[in-house]
Amino acid sequence: MKRLAVITAVAGLGLAGSAMAVSASAQETTAPAAIAWAKCAGDDPYLANAECAQIQVPLDYGHPNGKKISVAISRVEHTDDAHYKGVLIGNPGGPGGSGLYLSGGLASWFSGVGHDEIPADYDIIGFDPRGVGASRPALTCDPHYSDPVRPDYVPHTAADEAAWLKKSKAYAQACARRFGWLLPHLRTTDAARDIDAIRSALGQRQISYYGFSYGTYLGATYGTLFPQHVRHMILDGNVDDRGVWYDAQLEQDKAFERNIKFFFGWVAKYDSVYHLGTTEAKVERAYYAMRAKAGRQAIGGEVGPDELDDTFLNAGYSTGWYEPTADVFSAYVTKGDASAITDFYENYIFSADDNGFAMYNAVQAADAPWPHSWSRWHNDAAKLYGQGYRYNTWGNVWFNAPVAFWPFQGGPKLKIKARGMTPALLVQSTLDAATPYPGGEEMHKLLPSRLVAEIGGKTHANTLNGNACLDDKVAAYLTTGALPKDKPGNGPDATCQALPDPVPSGAAAKASARSSAGSVTPRVPARPLIGRP
């Protein structure tokens, strides 16, 4: 779906405790073995009160007695025995996103929006899907692939495009050389079967599941394979199953163009603070002038046009990133403060960890067929770019291009149809760029479900982020099973209005005015940007 603009996963988080065996069958439950829970390694604050373990699962569920790999799991236990409701397993998206932190993360976010009853009633389980993070092995292909400064995403000549093709092919070859034995077993169906292995290991007949972004597709896959094992399912920021996965990129290109223009318009509205132009068009010109300048000489020797696009991409994902992004934009353009951009990029965007990018490509390559001919990729991108979708189109191409050179053709794509599953609660923001709104209605069509639309919402996967209308519905569903009344058709069964866009604080404006040469300290959102598809 989309490149990982913000690194929120915990890198290198080792887990103590010995592994245990779980049922190899995709459909059977075995008596649970004792999980060797231990204190979580590392310093992630979301795991401070959690315990961690590894469980063994088959590499190939078609050969359950063959080679094993391990999946890292974490747990924050319930505190109210009288109202215990089982386990709630979370996934933040990706594919390739580490979800180990979600045991404490979901507990913290529910409490933060006034619903302490959820962590009180549930054992909340986080996990790193196979190949991700603390699971073993963790896929990595070329740790230096994304090092700055990379060639411009936008190919201005045939030679520029050939350079990216060479780079993409070399990456795919590195993946095949290092982990060719693992790559065919990284389908979403494999991860779903791992979730059922976790359920079995925990001794649970059913699970509740909370998936964001790609995690909605993982949840729908689980519901398709194991409909009777679902107690509750919340899917926020739903993948459009019709686009898995190539066509989904093209729809994103259109949606991110729209949303980056929303950001430019917001900056223009507060020109008295940012001084970048009084209209959306003027701010957009300021951005592309800055980008062109970075193409001639990287900002601070580190941030070229690609790195700049990646930095600003967050504003297309979430309005929570409007202020910090506008702060560094203004500091550079109006004051020449290169450190504002480079510090922001180093601290919040760049990661030397290749795992997320490797898994993103590996899962999507395995899940479904992609175009055989590069001319299809090129022509689709060139057409969109020529139609004015220029912000994200070529960046999206190169983020996915290694798949064009994968050592095997993926698929067949799973047919999503969770017949007999308890109705899921679906949430979709109408102006979500990463998973555009039609995906919510399509998932509503495929699953027994109710759909809640956040009208005017520009933030991706926006539950547990302060919109009480959404958050209260999620909590009520997990507490009592309450769902909105089912309305005919695939449209929303209930709606919530999005919260207003942020307003720059006066204190921040004054601090910016006093700052001359020093770098800006951005006010990043307290909650990590999750569900990055």
Write down the H helix ranges in 114-187: 117-121, 158-179
Query: CB atoms < 10 A from the CB of 469, how many?
Result: 14
Write down the H helix ranges in 202-279: 214-225, 246-269, 271-274
213 is catalytic: yes
Backbone angles phi and psi of 40, in degrees to 5 = -70, 135
Q: Considering 460, 471, 512, 519, which one is annotated as catalytic?
A: 460
- Measured at the CA of 54, the angle between CA 51 and CA 55, to 5 degrees, comes to 125
Radius of gyration of the CA atoms of the chain, in A: 22
432 is catalytic: yes
Question: Cβ-count burial of 521 within 10 angstroms (0-12 exposed, 13-18 middle, 19+ buried)?
Answer: middle
Q: List C-alpha distances in Å: 429 to 342, 401, 424, 440.
A: 32, 28, 17, 9
What are all long-range contacts of 22-27, with beta carbons under 8 Å and residues at least 24 apart? Answer: 22/55, 22/56, 22/57, 22/197, 22/198, 22/200, 22/201, 23/197, 23/200, 24/57, 24/58, 24/61, 24/64, 24/65, 25/61, 25/64, 26/61, 26/193, 26/196, 26/225, 27/226
Q: What's at 407, amino acid-wise? A: P
Q: Considering 44, 123, 343, 432, which one is annotated as catalytic?
A: 432
Q: Considering 108, 213, 318, 429, which one is annotated as catalytic?
A: 213
Locus of tokens 């690609």: 306
In contact, 224 and 416? CB cutoff 8 Å: yes
Q: State yes or no: cis peptide before 184, omega within 30 of 0.
A: no
98 is catalytic: no
In contact, 73 and 46? CB cutoff 8 Å: no
Locus of tokens 């390559």: 365
In contact, 363 and 188? CB cutoff 8 Å: yes
Locus of tokens 């163009």: 257
Residues in the chain: 533
What span, in angstroms and rounded, lies between the C-alpha atoms of 186 and 212? 19
**Mind telling me the catalytic residues?**
213, 432, 460
